Structure 1
Amino acid sequence: MTQTPTVVDKAIQGSRRQRFAASRWWSIGGPVGVTLLAAVLRLQSLGHPASLMFDETFYVKDAWTMLNLGYEGSWPEDPNPAFNAGQVDGFLTTASYPAHPPLGKWLIGLGIAALGPENPAGWRLGVAVAGIIAVVLVMLIAQRLWHNPTLVVIAGGLLAIDGQAIVMSRLGLLDNFLMLFALLGFGAILLDRAQSTRRLEEWLIRRSGPDGPPPWGPALWARPWLVAAGLAFGLACAVKWSGLYLIAFFAVYVLASDALARRRAGIRHWLSGTVLKQGPVAFVLMVPIAVAAYLASWTGWFVTSGGYDRNWIATGGERWTGLLAWVPDSLQNLWHWHAGIYAFHNGLSVGHPYATPAILWPFLTRPTQIYYQGSAMGENGCTWDYCSEIVWSIANPILWWAACAAALYLVYRFARYRDPRIGLILTGIAAGYLPWLLYPTRTMFQFYAIEFLPYLVLGLTAVLGLVLGSRMGSTRAVQPGAVDRALSSARADRLLALVRTRIPESWRTPSVRRRFVIVFLALVVAVSAFFYPLWTGMQTPFWFWTLHIWLPTWQ
């Protein structure tokens, strides 16, 4: 006999439907809203300032000549005033000396092709689109990591409103493309971990006998996401050579993760099986596609004859002999270009007022002033005693310092709890940051940190999730065994008991923790609003600029 629902039952069902509808709206509407916000902050007044800024003088003009010649052409002396005025056809057919591979310049060229070389917005459209896509990717990665809509919105929102992310999305440089391809590779590695763990379990079910699984384990070839990661990292190298460090760091991560997965599965020779069986497979899946992607970015150089060093052997260069004599002249010429550029970068140590060594980046010691124009009253529409127009690639200071502190905490947390998601985030930070410490005398800038900024944001999001009391969602990204889950739970309980003895009872309630996170996020938003005019070159009174000098080294 069917029981008629009571009024209370109907009320409960209605409440559940309302909560489900609200949750569904938040999980869809939140990311859409963040994406729209990121687009507005990056695209509005994109053509201002209407002049080449900082290293746009190289990459924008290179992109334009590549569209016309297929390679980077040179220019007469002091071409920028004419180029800024829309006179863009003064380039020469002789090759210029390019300091970086061509892919990033081709991508800048797409924006120029869309809007025209006379439109400054066209110079920056490609990087702006890359910056918007990066925000979307961070949210997709956060969803995969934690399956928590609130953390997804927090991660995407923090990257959407950060100053360094905004400025590097409004400037025709290469670094935003490097960041984007690195993020694509990161996401592919994350997906591979879930897929490879599942396929290892399936293999064990099929192959395990009375004596347990085979001692060496399998060589898993069906890992398409690993191929995708190699492709993404190869494209990153085709923007800047620092992408090589991404391949190296994430290859180590993949091997370590494979080894731990085999150990958890009870494979006897888990380490040697990883190194001798799965390691070579991972190399074959990742490296050839990365090399092919890199070489494909040089298509314009190969199919034309005027690129830098394109005819090095024909003009007197020494052809290889012996075992390498079979290598085509075009590849030998390309290798000579690489040798010369490596020597250039390795010895690059020129003075610059905004140069800062990588060891100081976490402290935000010397952010780069990209552009400055001062105007007295009556000049350029200035209505104050003196006005400033500044493009300043400074991160949101509160967000940046909090993210760096969160990264340090995550190092401790990973060492104690071995959360594979935290390990992956820390790998991204390490791949983008640690290699720069090897070159303390090279000329470097704070904005190079855009390469690992998304992982800092993900790390900060993880810590905010812990503050909120979240279990950080499902662990489906990498599934530990039952013993690992039990140990992790027991350790978490002990840590929670320790924390409870140190923190007053009134501070431990969920409502207080939520308020803390809300206040922190509100502070970050307020600071972004305060700095936004200086990220986009808005004209402000000079005293407004001085209010932002929080450290003496920022002047």
Structure 2
Amino acid sequence: MTERADFDELLDTEPAPSPAERRPVGSRLDDWWARLSPSWQRALRWGAPALVVVLAAVTRLWNLGHPPELVFDETFYVKDAWTLANLGYEAQWPADADAAFNSGTTSGYLTDPAFVVHPPLGKWIISVGMLVLGPDNPVGWRISTALIGILAVVLLMVVAHLLFRSMVLTTIAGFLMAIEGNAIVMSRVGLLDNSVMFFALLGFLFVLLDRGWSELRLAAWIGRREAAGRTTDWGPALWWRPWLIAAGVAFGATAAVKWSGLYFLAGFAIYTLVVDALARRRAGIQLWGSGTVFRQGPVTFLLMVPVALAVYLSTWIGWFASDSGYDRTWASGDGNAWTGALAWVPQSIQSLWHFETSVYNYHVGENRGHGYEANPLTWLFLVRPTSMWYQAASQGENGCTFDTCGSSITGIANPLIWWAATAALVYLVYRLVRFREWRVGFILMGIAAGYLPWLLYLNRTVFQFYTIAFEPYLLLGLTFVIGLILGSRTDDRDRRTSGIGVVAAFLALALAVSVFFWPLWTGMQLDYDYLRLHWWLVTWR
């Protein structure tokens, strides 16, 4: 199917009018595009996304080593990553370790194990940059996270192109993420959440690919049954679904960074079954519901969950290989080993289970207050962004030429993009109910898996930057609405021209807002009075 045809399908446009009914359609920009040679069209189709990737690289890599000190939770994850790389497990540090680490003394860790509350994969990823560039180099602390942020922009464009079949919308989706503040900040600090976002988005892509794959195999199965004169009762159990297995790998990796990745695994496993059931009903399978639950359901579970568990456990290889990790030998203690029906379970697994139980108890009981905590009910409205780092200076100090200066790294999303995406989310919910479009449902599923589970923990201490996990789907939703505003090349000229004008103005204004907030995302020193102009809400201080 051509790009134009797919785009028209997305917009639910009417067929092109007959020559007798034809009126001026499209914009002058469309006319210009039609006059270009195929080679120029091809160059622009590939060149625009390539420029977006360059933009993403600049916003994430420029001056990445500033500030040359641990910021916010880097104090945990960067130091944990370094002990993980050296010992195979996270170890404790002396009380004054941050100052020494910032100055380049990175060998002061102890050998006593540390109680950590997140799985190892995200810290393994951070450690790669430190091993390559050195633990005394701030760029080494952050480069892995930055590269993941760049790859996420590429991945989002791949997903957008598969969803919308429009290079224009593909480029717009990538552009929005490339300039968006929350995505930029989370790519420039050595935290775990960018990896959660990336692996979840990778799983999202694989589920999307599985959708087409499984429908083709279902159609082939029905064709064989009909050729043989047999009825299509419960439908098949489709075992060979490589994209579904790949999704299990990706979601297992998501959970191996943070446990919140389990919600993506559970959510999309259920989503896949719903899609399978609807596909069977459309195909005319008589017992489509029970066939999905009792025949395909167990197969889907076996294709996704065991492989996700295997990926999760594999990230603990350093802990299993050592004798000194936290709770590593718990099961060998007097009276600790399991008995009865579970006595066969290896003691290493028993010890890990005990460790994970302690982590779970920590998570459900974590309600200590924090100055920048943000209730999940406020996340979509950008009420309380997270200040990652702040440094004040007086005139003549650190190059300050004003009475008072301030340098800040604050996870404020681009307000225009964020609030527009929230408005688009509301519209997409309406559109799903009204038109039942699968693209809309798929995008909303990504948001639901990343956001709704946090509503179960309203009394827990959480932060605005957790939203990075579902931000790609907010941007896809916004891109969908932008596509509706843009219209089609077969639309009336005035309608098409006005749509392009509105979208162009929005994107230009979004870029201007990002330029305005850029200093707060990168720790640039500003006159304090100018810095305060960025606090659009009193809760942003």
The TM tier, using the shorter chain, reads over 0.9
Match of 1:547 among 522, 533, 536: 533
TM-aligned CA deviation for residue 544 of structure 1: 1.5
Match of 1:106 among 96, 115, 124: 124
Q: Quick one: distance in 1 between partners of 2:97 and 2:159?
A: 43
| Residue of structure 2 equivalent to 1:194 | 212
| Residue of structure 2 equivalent to 1:427 | 445
Match of 2:183 among 165, 171, 174: 165
Tell me if 1:145 matches 2:163: yes
Matches within 5 A, 1:184-223: 184-208=202-226, 213-223=231-241
Tell me if 1:123 matches 2:141: yes
CA distance change for structure 1 residues 118 and 210 in 2, over 3 Å: closer, same or farther?
closer
Amino acid at match of 2:367: S
Could you tell me whether the CA contact under 8 Å between 2:33 and 2:41 is conserved in 1? Answer: no
CA distance change for structure 1 residues 328 and 212 in 2, over 3 Å: closer, same or farther?
closer
Amino acid at match of 1:232: A
Cα deviations across residues 139-170 of structure 1 (Å, max 9, x unaligned)?
A: 00011111101000000000010000000000
Cα deviations across residues 8-33 of structure 1 (Å, max 9, x unaligned)?
A: xxxxxx99672433321221001110
Q: Quick one: distance in 2 between partners of 1:355 and 1:316?
A: 41
Tell me if 1:509 matches 2:495: yes
TM-aligned CA deviation for residue 525 of structure 1: 0.5
Tell me if 1:405 matches 2:423: yes
Q: Quick one: distance in 2 between partners of 1:231 and 1:412?
A: 33
Amino acid at match of 1:543: D
Q: Quick one: distance in 2 between partners of 1:299 and 1:465?
A: 46
Moved more, 407-416 or 390-399: 407-416
Q: Quick one: distance in 1 between partners of 2:438 and 2:230?
A: 25
Cα deviations across residues 12-55 of structure 1 (Å, max 9, x unaligned)?
A: xx996724333212210011100011011000110101110010
Could you tell me whether the CA contact under 8 Å between 2:488 and 2:496 is conserved in 1? Answer: no
TM-aligned CA deviation for residue 384 of structure 1: 1.4
Could you tell me whether the CA contact under 8 Å between 1:108 and 1:124 is conserved in 2? Answer: yes
Q: Quick one: distance in 2 between partners of 1:105 and 1:210?
A: 55
CA distance change for structure 1 residues 292 and 441 in 2, over 3 Å: closer, same or farther?
same
Could you tell me whether the CA contact under 8 Å between 1:73 and 1:95 is conserved in 2? Answer: yes
TM-aligned CA deviation for residue 419 of structure 1: 1.3
Could you tell me whether the CA contact under 8 Å between 1:177 and 1:239 is conserved in 2? Answer: yes
| Residue of structure 1 equivalent to 2:12 | none
Tell me if 1:461 matches 2:479: yes
Cα deviations across residues 353-407 of structure 1 (Å, max 9, x unaligned)?
A: 1101101101100000110000001101111111111000010001000001101
Cα deviations across residues 220-247 of structure 1 (Å, max 9, x unaligned)?
A: 1111000000000000010000011001
| Residue of structure 1 equivalent to 2:411 | 393
| Residue of structure 2 equivalent to 1:23 | 41
Q: Quick one: distance in 2 between partners of 1:384 and 1:54?
A: 27
Amino acid at match of 2:97: P
Over the aligned positions, Cα root-mean-square deviation in angstroms equals 1.8
Cα deviations across residues 453-472 of structure 1 (Å, max 9, x unaligned)?
A: 00000000000001111499
Q: Quick one: distance in 2 between partners of 1:16 and 1:389?
A: 49
Tell me if 1:33 matches 2:16: no
CA distance change for structure 1 residues 325 and 240 in 2, over 3 Å: closer, same or farther?
same
Could you tell me whether the CA contact under 8 Å between 1:55 and 1:173 is conserved in 2? Answer: yes
Tell me if 1:528 matches 2:514: yes
TM-aligned CA deviation for residue 540 of structure 1: 1.1
Q: State the secondary structure of the residue aligned to 1:95.
A: coil
Could you tell me whether the CA contact under 8 Å between 2:386 and 2:410 is conserved in 1? Answer: yes
Matches within 5 A, 1:213-252: 213-252=231-270
Amino acid at match of 2:530: F
Could you tell me whether the CA contact under 8 Å between 2:60 and 2:184 is conserved in 1? Answer: yes
Q: Quick one: distance in 2 between partners of 1:112 and 1:470?
A: 49
Q: Quick one: distance in 1 between partners of 2:441 and 2:48?
A: 27
Q: Quick one: distance in 2 between partners of 1:16 and 1:418?
A: 33
Match of 2:316 among 295, 298, 323: 298
| Residue of structure 2 equivalent to 1:489 | none
Could you tell me whether the CA contact under 8 Å between 2:489 and 2:496 is conserved in 1? Answer: no
Q: State the secondary structure of the residue aligned to 2:408.
A: strand
Could you tell me whether the CA contact under 8 Å between 2:177 and 2:472 is conserved in 1? Answer: yes
Q: State the secondary structure of the residue aligned to 2:536.
A: coil
Q: State the secondary structure of the residue aligned to 2:257.
A: coil
Tell me if 1:49 matches 2:35: no
TM-aligned CA deviation for residue 208 of structure 1: 1.7
| Residue of structure 2 equivalent to 1:500 | none
Matches within 5 A, 1:50-65: 50-65=68-83
| Residue of structure 2 equivalent to 1:519 | 505
| Residue of structure 2 equivalent to 1:493 | none
Q: Quick one: distance in 2 between partners of 1:174 and 1:542?
A: 31
List alignment gaps of at least 5 residues for structure 2.
1-31
TM-aligned CA deviation for residue 317 of structure 1: 5.5
Moved more, 517-526 or 410-419: 410-419
Amino acid at match of 1:520: F
CA distance change for structure 1 residues 470 and 451 in 2, over 3 Å: closer, same or farther?
farther
Q: Quick one: distance in 2 between partners of 1:362 and 1:265?
A: 39
Q: Quick one: distance in 1 between partners of 2:108 and 2:539?
A: 40
Q: Quick one: distance in 1 between partners of 2:239 and 2:535?
A: 54
Number of aligned residue pairs = 511
Identity %: 56
Amino acid at match of 1:538: M
| Residue of structure 1 equivalent to 2:27 | none
Q: State the secondary structure of the residue aligned to 1:238.
A: helix
Q: Quick one: distance in 2 between partners of 1:317 and 1:238?
A: 30
- The TM-score normalised by the length of structure 1 is 0.90
Cα deviations across residues 409-444 of structure 1 (Å, max 9, x unaligned)?
A: 111111121211111110000000000000010000
- The TM-score normalised by the length of structure 2 is 0.92
Could you list the structure 1 runs, at least 4 aligned residues long, displaced by more than 4 angstroms after superposition.
14-17, 209-213
